[in-house]
A and B are shown apart, each in its own frame.
Chain A
Amino acid sequence: MSTVVTDTHSAHDAHDHHDHKPTGIKRWLFTTNHKDIGTMYLWFSFIMFLVGGSMALMIRAELFQPGMQIVDPHFFNQMTTMHGVIMVFGAVMPAFVGLANWMIPLMIGAPDMALPRMNNWSFWILPFAFMIMLSSFFMPGGAPAFGWTFYAPLSTTYSTDSTALFVFSMHIMGMSSIMGAINVIVTIMNMRAPGMTYMKMPLFVWTWFITAFLLIAVMPVLAGVVTMVLTDKYFGTHFFDAAGGGDPVLFQHLFWFFGHPEVYIMILPSFGIVSAIIPAFARKPLFGYASMVYATASIAGLSFLVWAHHMFTTGMPTFASLFFMYMTMLIAVPTGVKVFNWVTTMWRGAMSFETPMLFAIAFVVLFTIGGLSGIMLAITPVDYQYHDTYFVVAHFHYVLVTGAVFSIMAAAYYWLPKWSGVMYDDFLSKLHFWSSLISVNILFFPMHFVGLAGMPRRIPDYALQFADINAIVSIGGFLFGFSQLIFLAVVVKAAMKKGEPAPAKPWEGAEGLEWTVPSPAPYHTFDVPPQVK
């Protein structure tokens, strides 16, 4: 290890000029460059997106018809569990960290992230975490089958030994997230270009700044709760076992104290992305910049006070249910402010509809649908009916897929010219957008109905009255899944530099320091800090 460090260091000293980089595998293994690390995060998250997506397709294939046709119920539970874990921790979170790595230094005029070696490490432990997690498929009894929420005692007394691998890989992912978050905070606090005050930062920087604090606050809680699961299972503790004085519901309180802020960790950076893209293509400044910042901060603050809305049916005291219902409803206020701001930004602008804008508009519409069903779910008495049904599945896929994932797609198209130096294939990108938009709604919208009609989530087989809608949903699922291969083609084409050369600022209305550097962005940027007026 030490030789490695010396090697790169001396190499760096020997050729200290612009754009030098080691070639081959060494460049990627030992890199401390924020752009390289960002690229690796983004590719990693896309691979995980396809892995988690193929698990979703297995789920949808089994649910295409009533009856058990393709997989065993136990394997089905492994699929739902790993699909959730991989999409949350492997696809969405690393994608945002990748975007942060690429864009935050470029947006604040910094030469790199503040802690580049830690940056390297926080990426490179991730593939190992997921290799450990995925290797559990080859254990007797297979991978974890207790849902991504791993409720005790299903995950303790009643789980297979893959739990140990699950816990270990969760620890590694948590470390990676915490290091990434520290890096973001330190970079933003210390490395802004002269003149860039906090209230001049782009909203993507602001939302990530707040997200990073959420990560630091809740990832240790996750680490604690997985450790308690581990000791309950293997070392004779009884945190979640009533027989030894514990309480299984305690697990849920701890998990959701992590889990709810986690939901906002996966959506706040989206707000930043959309707040960059909509003004660029409406050719009009973002409406209500300051209120956007305050709304983000209030959502983050409230996220610590709403966790038990995931637990209304656990038998909480009425007073607690009421408290968590009121707090949850309150979140609608700052979230509404954001949606109104985006719509008002479009109002009386001069809009054009390039692919990033299409994804951003789809984000605003579909995320709003997910937000509105969120208000319905907040109402405790009716949540008793919705809880653990496909209505919930529809809700959180609207906010996570057409919310978080669509915003990531929007960001990829928006900044791809800056990353690759070429314009993406416009036809393919539009094809990707329209096929995704249509199929994602065939996939998730009917889930609302089947959930209201009473279909529980996480079941491999269902009563006959749910058959028609499940068939439609499965078809939507396959269409959406295969549509993402178009995105792969677009990105590969751009990565191979096939396309029109991109100017430094390919979007007429775009604002920000990232558009002042050439496309593709040189390996080292802002060696001399720019002056922000």
Chain B
Amino acid sequence: MNVRLTSLLLGLPALFLAPMAHADSMQLNLTRGVTDISEKVYNLHMLVFWICVVIGVIVFAAMFWSILRHRKSRGVTPAKFHDNVKVEIAWTVIPFLILVAMAVPATITLIEMDDTSDSDMSVLVTGSQWRWHYSYLDYDIEFMSNMATPREQIYGRLPRTENYLLEVDRPMVVPTGKKIRLLITSDDVIHSWWVPEFAVKKDANPGYINEAWFRVDEPGIFRGQCAELCGRDHAFMPVVVIAKDPADFEAWAQGEEQRLADRRAEEERLLGMEMSKDELMQLGQQIHMSQCAACHQPNGQGVPGVFPGLVGQGIAVNDQTAHIDVVWNGVSGSAMQSFRNTLTMSEIAAVITYQRNAWGNNTGDVVQAADVHHFSQGNQ
């Protein structure tokens, strides 16, 4: 920590000068976005902004004029007035009229934004700590979307790349020119789904479903992130949406449906197969890093009092079935979610094997997909 602090302080003057170097690439204003609505929102923002600037300039001009002219050091005699009904009525009524002028376009835009009727397609968006799940109600498509930025970049062991913290493993894909209705909810705490370029920000409330919509006209990649404090990794919960031409979208959708079907078939196949312990450990380590490490930490130590450690104690060294149970079903009333829809049975088997043998746990247990399957059958 001391080394870091020192380097921080030494780098301070350099960083202060850095902004001037590439100020032209810096975004300082709200985005215009890529939808009709976001354009309207931007125009409304600029309208209100300029009204505020004008009011501010008038008020501050009057103030600085009197600061310059009406100062004792110039030998002025103070005036005595302290009331003027006409002036006071004027500066009550005029601001009111300005407000009405702002309220009219705001009302029209808001009514349009809140109208989710006549949509072409619906996607159920479910937030959970700390990833998004997308389920296409008109297709047989569903998937988890995790942040793809590696921890090595966050902790400075690898150089940070262009879309640092704003990249995911599986983005949401939508067709252009279609009104997409989002049904937004949460599995645990409140999250908020936000893509600035669509001007859509809607809270994901556990147990309730919110609606929002957008229509993108041009293909592109659009990035956003969770906007409501949702716990430890709130900063690491990006949203990426790719808009494709309808034909490309259909191709993607078919591929995605096929991928899910293949995955189910593969799952069936793996149930009859044994993986070697090395294979399980290797896959398990990947799964642990991508799915478990945010809470239980890469070294399995957890965060005392918040997220349980897995090393030499608790579930990872005791009863194996209980371990499968926790990963399969989650723990209700805690941040531990169910992974039955996130991971395949072989992935669950691998990560459990990994956790039971890594970091000196050395239980020697090997869990196979068939064991997970067996548990799931007994459980249902």
Contacts and interface: CB of A to CB of B under 8 A. Distances in A.
Given A70-B4, A468-B26, A475-B12, A361 B67 contact: yes
Interface size class of B (residues with CB under 8 A): 35 or more
B160 A464 contact: yes
A350 B72 contact: yes
Interface string B26-58: 111111000000001100110011001001100
Interface string A368-402: 11001101100111101101110000000000000
Nearest to B164: A464
A449 interface: yes
Interface in B237-290: none
A284 B235 contact: no
B297 to A, nearest CB: 10
A286 interface: yes
Nearest to A448: B28
B233 A249 contact: no
A469 B19 contact: yes
B114 interface: yes
B227 A389 contact: yes
Nearest to A284: B78
A468 B228 CA distance: 24
A392 B215 CA distance: 27
A270 to B, nearest CB: 17
B83 interface: yes
Interface in A288-339: 288-291, 313-315, 318, 321-322, 325-326, 329-330, 332-333, 336-337, 339
Contact of B19 (A77, A459, A472): A472
A452 B210 contact: no
Contacts of B41: 381-382, 384-385
Contacts of B334: 157-158
Nearest to B26: A468
A67 B153 contact: yes
A315 B190 contact: no
A463 B166 contact: yes
B230 A70 contact: no
Contact of A348 (B12, B66, B73, B113): B66
A453 interface: yes
Interface of B: 1, 4-5, 8, 11-12, 15-16, 18-19, 22-23, 25-31, 40-41, 44-45, 48-49, 52, 55-56, 59-60, 62-63, 66-67, 70-73, 76-84, 87-88, 91-92, 95-96, 99, 102-103, 106-107, 109-111, 113-114, 129, 153-156, 160, 162-166, 188-190, 192, 194, 196, 199-203, 205-208, 210-211, 224-236, 303-306, 333-335
28 contacts: A66-B164, A67-B160, A145-B232, A242-B208, A248-B205, A249-B205, A249-B208, A282-B78, A288-B82, A291-B88, A314-B210, A315-B208, A321-B110, A337-B88, A346-B63, A349-B70, A349-B79, A350-B76, A368-B60, A375-B48, A380-B106, A382-B30, A384-B199, A385-B30, A388-B192, A462-B235, A469-B26, A471-B18
Given A287-B84, A314-B203, A349-B70, 10 more contacts: A288-B88, A315-B205, A337-B88, A347-B79, A379-B48, A381-B113, A449-B28, A454-B31, A458-B234, A475-B12
